[in-house]
Amino acid sequence: MLNEIILVSVTPFSGTTDTDKNGLDAVMLQLIAGKMPNRNTLSGTVAQRLGIKIGETYLMNVREAGDDVEFGKDFTWVKLKHLTEASDIVETAHKLSPPIMINIPRPEGYNQLYERKTNAVEGLRTIRIREGKYIPVGDKSNLEHTTAKDVIEGSTVEDEQRITDIANRKTTKLNT
């Protein structure tokens, strides 16, 4: 059972153009040090309840909470400490293991059971990997997972300007 202390930086999640049920944008936990499952996207509501903010760095605990028949392993995230000083971040990173992303596979039949309810946006990096213009360092690439492009065909995103507007809104939030 997974139970790890990790060091993460919080960034906006750009894989969807929709907000959660409370109108908040999803966030992504970028691993700096420690071992973390690849289920590192949190709804904006979960991030708000945890007290984590985009652009900040945190020492956190992630632990396996259970198994969902449709979605697979579920995880609980706990904020332990907000780190603001670069020296604290570096010192903490050295005390933990190098960053290791643990691939948590979805249950068999997941793709048949899951119906995406939000709009998906394919990232530029995924496109560049597919085109052979970007080579990831790790042994896994986004091409080994269901991409947003695979999902967007069943999505309600029809207007590229809407996607651009939402991306600009997220950038504006970062700069404020």
pLDDT band at 31 (very low <50, low <70, confident <90, very high): very high
Locate the DSSP E strands across the chain.
Answer: 3-12, 27-33, 35-37, 41-42, 57-68, 72-83, 100-102
Between strands 100-102 and 57-68, the pairing is unpaired
Q: What is the pLDDT of residue 124?
A: 61
The whole-chain average pLDDT of the chain stands at 77
How far apart (Å, rounded) are the C-alpha atoms in residues 160 and 58?
34
Residue 134: its pLDDT value, please? 76
- Given a cut of 60, is residue 122 above it in pLDDT? no
Give the per-residue pLDDT at 113: 62
* Ranges 48-52, 85-89, 119-123: which has the least confidence: 119-123
Residue 103 structural domain: 3-175
- State how many domains the chain has: 1
In the prediction, which pLDDT does 104 show?
87
User: Considering the chain, what percentage of its residues have pLDDT values greater than 90?
Assistant: 44
pTM of the complete model beyond 0.85: no
pLDDT at 39 over 80: yes
* Angstrom distances, CA of residue 33 to CA of 9, 126, 145: 10, 24, 23
pLDDT score at 148:
45
Would you state the pLDDT for residue 142?
Answer: 42
Is the pLDDT higher at 114 or at 99?
99
Contact 42, 11 (CB under 8 A): no
Q: In the predicted model, is pLDDT for residue 36 greater than 90? A: yes
Higher-confidence position of 101 and 149: 101
Residue 137 structure tokens: 């360092």
Q: Would you say residue 83 has pLDDT above 80?
A: yes
Whether residue 102 contacts residue 37, with contact meaning beta carbons closer than 8 Å, is answered with yes
The CA distance from 143 to 133, in Å, is 13
